[in-house]
Chains A and B, each alone.
Chain A
Amino acid sequence: LAKTTQPISMDSYEGQEVNITCSHNNIATNDYITWYQQFPSQGPRFIIQGYKTKVTNEVASLFIPADRKSSTLSLPRVSLSDTAVYYCLVVFYKAAGNKLTFGGGTRVLVKP
C-alpha cells in the first residue's frame, strides 16, 4: 500500500537550515515528489518538485536518494515567515489510475 510519512513537527531558529524528510514506500519508477507549504487558513502552496537526485529553486532544495524511498526538503536560512506546515505529495502511477498521497504534514516553528 502506498504510504507517505513525515515527522509531525520540528523547531528551528532564524538563519538555520531546516531539513524535512518524507518517507514514501512503494514509489514507482515514474513517480514525482512534490512539496507544499501551508499557512493557517490558506490553501497549500507549491514549493518544489523532483524526480531524482537534486532539484534546487529560489526557495528550497529537494534531495532524492538513488533508492527513492525518501526525499528531503531543505530550506536554507529560514526566517520567521517560514513558520508553516510542510507537506510532501507523492503521485503513485498505477494502471487503474494515479494515486495521490499527501504526507501528514510537518509543522515547522522558526524561533527568533
Chain B
Amino acid sequence: DAGITQSPRYKITETGRQVTLMCHQTWSHSYMFWYRQDLGHGLRLIYYSAAADITDKGEVPDGYVVSRSKTENFPLTLESATRSQTSVYFCASRQDNLREQFFGPGTRLTVL
C-alpha cells in the first residue's frame, strides 16, 4: 500500500531491552523524521534524515539510534529502553524543505 507505515503499532518491553521501531514510506521522499509525543504533550523531534546515509539529531536524541541505508526505510532503535521512553512515536516524511510532512499512524511504546 502506498503511504507511510510504522511497525509495530503497539509494543511493550522491559527496561534495558533493545527495541527497534520501523518506518517505511513508498513516496521516495528525501526527508524522514522521528518524533515522540508524550501523553498530553506536543511533538518533539528525535532524529531526522535528509537522504539515505545522512542523519542528524533533533531536540531529544539521547538514548536513540537511527540509520537510513535505504531511502524508504528509517528505523529507530532504543539501545537500552528506559521507562522515560514510554511514549507514542511518530515517523514522518517530506519531499523537500518546504512542503508538508506526512505522518505515520504512530507506535505506542510502553517500557515497564
Residues of A at the B interface (CB closer than 8 Å) are 32, 34, 36, 41-46, 49, 87, 89, 91, 97-98, 100-105
Contact = CB atoms under 8 A, between A and B. Distances in A.
Interface stretch (B11-19, B40-48, B62-70, B75-83): B40-48
Interface residues of B, number: 23
B43 A102 contact: yes
Contacts of A102: 35, 42-45
B43 A42 contact: no
A42 B42 CA distance: 13
Contacts of B101: 34, 36, 44, 46, 89
Given A44-B90, A98-B97, A87 B56 contact: no
B41 A43 contact: no
A44 B43 contact: yes
B42 A43 contact: no
A36 B90 CA distance: 14
Interface string B77-112: 000000000000010100001111111111000000
